[in-house]
Amino acid sequence: MYKKTELDNGLTLVTNHMSNMESMAIGIWIRAGSRNEDEKNSGMSHFLEHMLFKGTPSRSCRKLKEEIEGRGGSLNGFTSEEVSCFLAKVSFKHQEIALEVLSDMVLNASIDEKELERERGVIIEEIKMYQDLPNHHVHDILAEIMWPGNSLGLSIAGSIDSVRSVLRKDIIEYRNTNYTPQNIVVALCGNLDHGAIESRLKKIFTGTIKGKIKPAEAFCNNQSKPRMKILCKDTKQAHLCIGLHSFGKNHKDRFALTILHIILGANMSSRLFENIREKKGLAYEIGAEVKRYNETGAFVVHAGTEHKKAKEAIICILKELKGIKEKYVTLGELKRAKEFFKVQLLMALEDTVEHMLWLGDYAASLNKLPDREDIIKKVESVTADDIKRVSQSIFNSSSLNIAVIGELEDREQREIEKELVL
């Protein structure tokens, strides 16, 4: 049973009591990510995430980890475009100390100057690592051309130049601006007592006051024709991403988009996997994903193929997108996709961490609790007409973006440009 409480200082607590679970998942969510940055301070949210693990006045870097891992648990964190999250998985018997450790990190991180300089080098090496992974870096290139002039087009980790220029005072100012109670959601799933956790949080966050939230700059899509960017690089295969603008997290057609995604590229029985890999043998890695942000989103197809087959792969992928918007999906496809969604969701929610991530993201992004039964009901109500209508609204040449990393000759690039029609 989900419960939600907002404290007087604006902090939100959401919980799910799972009485039969030995494990407990705790997450402290901050409604701030790379969307709250600009080109100059790009990577600030991610840098701050790293620094929160480097110690507080009462706990050293090593002590923070030992407090959790010494009790058999795990400690982690991540930064996305719209949120930052610090999480722990422990035995429910150790939930109090885990909550204290995470809160100490969020509220009291020392951000020591020497640690900052050391971590700067670590993050720069992380950026270089991802730049050397073409199947990862191609997504950053796609973001650049899909969201020009907007923070969504910036890398979450930042650039080497922006990370080099970060000062301690900048990180502290960013934390003071964004890590305020009304910008924080604490989510817990496991064997817990909501009232006891609420009381504990009131004590931990005593003295913290509401600040002024600076919302991220909204994205206005002015794209009118296809865009393509190719990074010529000596790689073993060509890595490509095809992206099209879609809907925000709370859009009325989000459930139809979910089913469209499953039918096209979410699993091994999807159209893209079946036709691009199984029938044509063009790629080993082929699939699709839906990126959802507050007011916008993207439908992305990704693949890796032989350099000389990149053009053919792109043409075949676009053919699949055209096909699903021109002809109705079958009743069998609809039934299988709905069942896939439902069972995948229910199985994921058996895990305390996955459940906490689902619950926390809902509360942080939409400021409400998820209704599992209602979500499944709405997914079940999606029709073939809905799939066709949504695909026709998304899969258009004016919204098409393609990023490629590989060895493509100028002639091949020109030939691909001629095929960018949906």
What six digits make up the tokens of 183? 């910008």
CA distance 20 to 309: 52
- Any domain includes 265: yes
- Any domain includes 363: yes
Cα radius of gyration (the chain): 23
Pair (349, 401) in one structural domain: yes
The domain boundary residue, chosen from 204, 236, 254: 204
Pair (397, 291) in one structural domain: yes
- Any domain includes 218: no
- Interior angle at CA 350, CA 345 and CA 354, nearest 5: 70
What six digits make up the tokens of 89? 């998985």
Backbone angles phi, psi at 287, to 5 degrees: -175, -175
Per-residue pLDDT in tens (0 to 9) along the chain, 422 residues: 899 999 999 999 999 999 999 999 999 999 999 999 999 999 999 999 999 999 999 999 999 999 999 999 999 999 999 999 999 999 999 999 999 999 999 999 999 999 999 999 999 999 999 999 999 999 999 999 999 999 999 999 999 999 999 999 999 999 999 999 999 999 999 999 999 999 999 999 987 766 667 788 899 999 999 999 999 999 999 999 999 999 999 999 999 999 999 999 999 999 999 999 999 999 999 999 999 999 999 999 999 999 999 999 999 999 999 999 999 999 999 999 999 999 999 999 999 999 999 999 999 999 999 999 999 999 999 999 999 999 999 999 999 999 999 988 888 888 888 889 89
What six digits make up the tokens of 58? 């009462």
CA distance 48 to 61: 14
pLDDT of residue 411: 87
Number of folded domains in the chain?
Answer: 2
Pair (175, 248) in one structural domain: no
Cβ atoms of 182 and 11 closer than 8 Å: yes
Cβ atoms of 315 and 422 closer than 8 Å: no
Pair (87, 147) in one structural domain: yes
Pair (321, 382) in one structural domain: yes
Domain range spanning residue 305? Answer: 227-418
Pair (279, 192) in one structural domain: no
pLDDT of residue 209: 66
Backbone angles phi, psi at 247, to 5 degrees: -110, 160
CA distance 357 to 340: 20
What six digits make up the tokens of 252? 């009325």
Pair (92, 177) in one structural domain: yes
Pair (77, 199) in one structural domain: yes
Q: Which CATH number characterizes residue 271's domain?
A: 3.30.830.10
- Any domain includes 221: no
Pair (146, 232) in one structural domain: no
The domain boundary residue, chosen from 204, 219, 250: 204
Q: Of the candidates 374, 51, 5, 372, which has an alpha carbon nearest to the alpha carbon of residue 187? A: 5
Pair (129, 232) in one structural domain: no
Pair (289, 365) in one structural domain: yes
Q: Give the predicted TM-score (pTM) of the model.
A: 0.96
**What DSSP state is assigned to residue 58?**
S
- Any domain includes 210: no
Pair (185, 310) in one structural domain: no
- Any domain includes 212: no
The domain boundary residue, chosen from 156, 173, 204: 204
Length of the chain: 422
* Coil/strand/helix, residue 299: strand
Q: Of the candidates 343, 350, 346, which has an alpha carbon nearest to the alpha carbon of residue 23? A: 350
pLDDT of residue 31: 97
Residue 222: other Cβ atoms inside 10 A: 7
Q: Of the candidates 19, 387, 406, which has an alpha carbon nearest to the alpha carbon of residue 192? A: 19
- Any domain includes 121: yes
What six digits make up the tokens of 22? 């030995």
**What DSSP state is assigned to residue 218?**
P
What six digits make up the tokens of 169? 């005072």
- Any domain includes 211: no
pLDDT of residue 410: 83
